[in-house]
Amino acid sequence: MFSGPAGTGKTASSIALARELFGDTWRNNFMELNASDERGIDIVRNNIKNFARMSSVGGAQFKIIFLDEADALTPDAQAALRRTMERYSQTCRFILSCNYSSRIIVPIQSRCAVYRFRPLGEDSMMQRILEISRAEELDISEDAVKAMIFVSQGDMRKAVNTLQSAAVMGKKIIPDAIYEITATARPEEIRELINLALDGELLKSIDRLTSMLVEKGLSGEDITAQMHREILGMENLTDKKKVELLDHIGEIEFRLTEGANERIQLDALIAHLVLSGGK
């Protein structure tokens, strides 16, 4: 069982394993099922069981069933899976991938070796980004690598996708391109916006905000999500203040998801920051 957040290598490891084990026949001996598409008990009793009981191809010792997003399987479907996992263990191995292992029933966990995948560290991210850049002959600055690490937050898939998108625009990769592609503001900009508002500069901060929305094309939810991240790390705020602000930002983001007007909601949020800054 591979458990961990997106882009940490669960699927990649599984496919790499299959390729290494089966060589050319890996596609015949590897069944990939996304459990969030088919999550009921039928999928286990029919598709999975049928594949499990067929013998492997090309002299391979066993086959692999890769159940992506296994935590989306209903508990009943999971229950139906457990004896199948044992009964066909001579011919078939299972890899279950999930975001939260707690969503997998204990009898299944008990039948698995659990491997936790964590968000990738900065070093691994940097190494891989540089490797790909070299192979693709990209000219990437140190700042751009840092920007990649910031926007992808340990999600390698996001990092590689971002890098590819940036490479389409040109061989020279600069931080601005990274932020633009991922609809992310520079972290400094968001922090400045928050501090400006807390200092009581209502008009100035609304002006900054407007330019982010209009000129950079960020969405309201991009901005609230980033404000959440920045506020958590700000040292000039007490924890109590942080919690109060985060609660309020969450409320604003919720209203945005409900279709409220970005300008009005975010202006109101800025005004709230101005008030709570007390200046």
Partner 1 sequence: MMKAGPENTAAPAEWTEKYRPSSVDDIIGNGKAVGEFTAWAKSWNSGMPESAAVILHGPAGVGKTSAAHAVANDMGWEVIELNASDQRTAAIIQRVVGSASRTVGLSGSEHRMIILDEADNIHGNYDRGGVQAIIGIIKTALQPMVLIANEYYDMSKTLRGVCTEIKFNKIQSRSIMPALRSICDAEGIHAEGLALDTIAEGANGDLRSAINDLQAVAMGRSHITPDDVIISGRDRRESIFDVLAHLFRRSGLNDAMHRIYDLDERPDELINWIVENLPESYDNEDSAHGFNYLSRADVFLGRVRRRQSYSLWRYASSVMVGGTMVSRSHKYKGFVRYRRPSFFMRLGRTRSVRGIRDSLTARIGDCFHVSRRYARSDLMYILRMICSDASVAVYVVARMGLGLDETAMLLDMKKTSKKVKTVFADASELAERIGPVVSPDFLYDFNGSVTDGGGDEISGRTPDVLDGGGNGNGADDPGPDRSQQTLFDF
Q: Which two tokens stand for residue 96?
A: 């279950």
Neighbouring CB atoms inside 10 A of 264's CB total 11
Residue of the chain from 115, 126, 158, 181 that contacts partner 1 (CB under 8 A): 115
Which H or E run contains 126? helix 122-135
Does residue 14 belong to the site contacting partner 1 (CB under 8 A)? no
| Whether 151 contacts 158, CB under 8 Å | yes
Residue 64, burial from CB neighbour count under 10 angstroms (0-12, 13-18, 19+):
buried
In the complex with partner 1, the residue whose CB is nearer, 9 or 119, is 119
Site for partner 1 in 167-226 (CB under 8 A): 221, 225
8 forms part of the interface with partner 1 (CB under 8 A): no
Q: How many CB atoms lie within 10 A of CB 26?
A: 20
Q: Which is nearer to partner 1, 23 or 233 (CB)?
A: 233
87 contacts partner 1 (rule: CB under 8 A) = yes
CA 165/CA 147 separation, integer angstroms? 14
Q: Which of 128, 186, 204, 228 binds partner 1 (CB under 8 A)?
A: 228
Q: Using CB under 8 A as the criterion, which residues of the chain lie in contact with partner 1 when the complex forms?
A: 1, 3, 41-42, 44-45, 49, 61-62, 76, 79-84, 86-87, 89-91, 93, 100-103, 106-107, 109-116, 118-119, 221, 225, 228, 232-233, 238-240, 242-243, 246-247, 249-250, 253-254, 257-258
